[in-house]
Amino acid sequence: MPLSLSPSLILQFTLLIQATEENTKFTKKIEILDASEQESNARMEINKADSTLDHVNM
């Protein structure tokens, strides 16, 4: 027995899939930006530590 779906239901599923894909792309971009920010913060902390060490070694 073949499954019969209304065009409206097919459209709703299609829109849901598209929205899910867009949300996934957006989430990945946020994760990349967050990782980049964390890396930047870590580099700043390393630079601060290097500066402090240089000052102590003078």
Q: What is the mean pLDDT of the chain?
A: 91
pLDDT, residue 16, reads: 97
Calculate mean pLDDT across residues 42-54: 91
Chain-centre distance for alpha carbon 12: 26
d(CA 40, CA 33): 10
pLDDT at 20: 96
Which has more confidence, 58 or 17? 17
Q: What is the pLDDT of residues 19-44, one digit of tens each?
A: 999 999 999 999 999 999 999 999 99
| pLDDT on residue 1 | 62
**pTM of the model as a whole:** 0.58
Distance between CA 52 and CA 44 in Å, rounded? 12
